[in-house]
Amino acid sequence: MPRAQRPARRPARPAREGAASQRGRDSRPAKAPATDGPVLELDVERIAHGGVAVARHEGRVVFVADAIPGERVRARVADASKDRFWRADTVEVLEASADRRAHAWPEASVDRAPERRAGGAEFGHIRMSRQRALKAEVLTDALSRFAGLERDVVVEAVDPAHAPGVDADAGTGWRTRVRLHVDRDGRVGPYASRSHTVVPVETLPLATPELQAIARLSDRFAGAESIDLVAPAGGAPELVIDAPRRSPLIHEEVLGRTFRLDRGGFWQVHRGAAATLALAVQDAIDADRFDPRAANLDLYGGVGLLAGAVIDRFGETVRITSVEADERATDHAAANLSGTIGAHAETGRVDRWLERLDAGADRLLRDRLARATIVLDPPRAGAGREVVERLAALKPAQLVYVACDPVALARDLGTFRNFGYDLETLRAFDLFPNTHHVEAVARLTARV
């Protein structure tokens, strides 16, 4: 994920300026999980999409938070409103996995009551290598179930060279954007998982050291609704109370290229994520299929990160159009790509923009589209059938798909297969350590 993203995710893609109106966000119920549900002893079987594990009780599926496959736990039922499954929170570990560790965020530990656990670090109790293995299992399972693809996947850690100050072994110190909430007494903290309950905290271990230093977690912010912490690569860290809708400009630096964007606009959260994805997209493009004079596209393009990556690999003669629904992001993309004569940025919902493109395309344009490389970085919900069908109808030479949700990616890959495009390469990256989120980059080409 699911990725390109705003001052806070969610992750996640694990969470991109770019398509604020098109990118899905995880919704949270207004009520906290039940605190008086029955307590069950459960044998945890496997991991599920969404950061929870799967167990069974009298034939019913129970999704269990804060557990690891292979463990035996006592878990309190937090939601029994569905007939097919229940949700539960681990309250005691009876037989622990060898991969269980002290939680990376003490305020999210299983030692706390579930309603007092900070949300946003649902894998923090798991050793890092096992976290990545579990994310790979989820992606592998999604590919099999929704795309009919049997494929081994390895989730790669972020190269430390792109993430100074990040503790890769602990999975901490990586978040350059954090949103905290304020309760009615002015106390600040994250929400509890699946809740709008604010959990006051004393630490923010996933945040960069610069943000930890300015967080003011013990202060009271009476009358405020939220606190944003932002640490751009090209400026000083900031604490912002109730961030305005129209925010000042900041600058991010990625692989020698500078991007301007709104402070409240979408950007990759992990300190090394933008560089990781830019390099992965560059690597995913098959140079033999790339034509710099074709009608190359960067869809859901945000402020131009991936279009810039394409230009940086193939040179300033590249023709590429970035399409983004958010007008402010499009303006920034135009400025960020202005050094390349053949680069353009257009505002539009991708589905409607493609519809207009198809309707107005003459023979010459269709030939240029058939030689094109199309990069797409859709919201968490994925591109969807309509967009996939329109893209396949353009018959591009190759597509590079950046995904922040494994199930949405797999569904779209399955649809692409139905329209004649097959998966050639796939890489996955752990851009949201200590959460369940995972990002993937895939290349698709037309079936011969």
For the chain, give the mean pLDDT: 92
What confidence tens digit (pLDDT) does each residue in 84-119 have?
999 999 999 999 999 999 999 999 999 999 999 999
* 142 membership: H or E segment, kind and range: helix 128-147
pLDDT bin (cut points 50, 70, 90) of residue 247 is confident
Lowest-pLDDT range, 111-120, 237-246, 377-386?
A: 237-246
Within 10 angstroms of residue 235's Cβ, the number of other Cβ atoms is 15
Residue 8 has pLDDT above 60, yes or no: no
Classify residue 220: in a domain, yes or no: no
**Whether the predicted pLDDT of 19 surpasses 90:** no
- Contact 383/350 with Cβ under 8 angstroms? yes
Stretch 272-298: mean pLDDT, rounded? 98
Q: Which domain holds residue 392?
A: 257-261+268-446
Report whether 295 contacts 319 (CB < 8 A).
Answer: yes
* pLDDT band with cut points at 50, 70 and 90 for residue 234: confident
Catalytic one of 163, 215, 404, 410:
404
Could you tell me if residue 343 is inside a domain? yes
Query: Looking at residue 18, what is its pLDDT?
Result: 34
Active site residue 404: yes
**Nearest-angstrom CA–CA distance, 74 and 95:** 10
Q: How far apart are CA 81 and CA 161, in angstroms?
A: 47
pLDDT beyond 60 at 26: no
Can you tell me the distance from the alpha carbon of 6 to that of 417, in angstroms, rounded to the nearest whole number? Answer: 32
Residue 3's pLDDT is 36
Q: How does residue 34 score in pLDDT terms, banded at 50, 70 and 90?
A: low
Answer with the residue of higher pLDDT: 88 or 234: 88
What CATH number is attached to the domain comprising 277?
3.40.50.150
pLDDT, position 287 = 98
Residue with tokens 């010459």: 364
Closest CA to 243 of 171, 336, 180, 323: 180
CB 124 within 8 A of CB 105: yes
Q: What is the mean pLDDT of residues 135-149?
A: 98
Do the beta carbons of residue 183 and residue 198 sit within 8 Å?
Answer: yes
- The total domain count for the chain is 1
Map residue 213 onto helix, strand or coil: helix
Q: Can you count the helices (H) and strands (E) in the chain?
A: 9, 20
User: Could you tell me which residues are annotated as the binding site for S-adenosyl-L-methionine?
Assistant: 268, 300, 324, 377
- Cβ count near 32 (within 10 Å): 17
Domain assignment present for residue 246? The answer is: no
Tokens 């940025």 correspond to: 345
Tens digit of pLDDT for each residue in 187-222? Answer: 999 999 889 999 999 999 999 999 999 999 999 999
Asked if residue 160 belongs to a domain, the reply is no
Q: Which residues neighbour 210 within 8 Å (Cβ) at sequence distance 6 or greater?
A: 231, 237
Q: Angle CA(309)–CA(312)–CA(313) in degrees, nearest 5?
A: 90
- Name which residue leads in pLDDT, 448 or 61: 61
**412-431: per-residue pLDDT in tens?**
999 999 999 999 999 999 99
What percent of the chain is helix, strand and coil (3-state, nearest 5)?
Answer: 25, 25, 50
Is the predicted pLDDT of residue 270 greater than 50, yes or no?
Answer: yes
Residue 310 located in a structural domain:
yes
What three-state secondary structure class fits 355? Answer: helix
Three-state secondary structure call for residue 90: strand
14 in any annotated domain: no
Instruction: Check residue 32 and give its pLDDT.
Output: 53
In this prediction, residue 25 carries a pLDDT of: 34
Classify residue 248: in a domain, yes or no.
Answer: no
Is there a domain that residue 435 lies in? yes
Query: pLDDT category, 33, cuts 50, 70, 90?
Result: low
Residue type, 266: F
**Tell me: the pLDDT tens digits for 149-170?**
999 999 999 999 999 989 999 9
**pLDDT tens digits, 429-446:** 999 999 999 999 999 999
Q: What is the pLDDT of residue 17?
A: 31
Q: What is the pTM assigned to this prediction?
A: 0.91
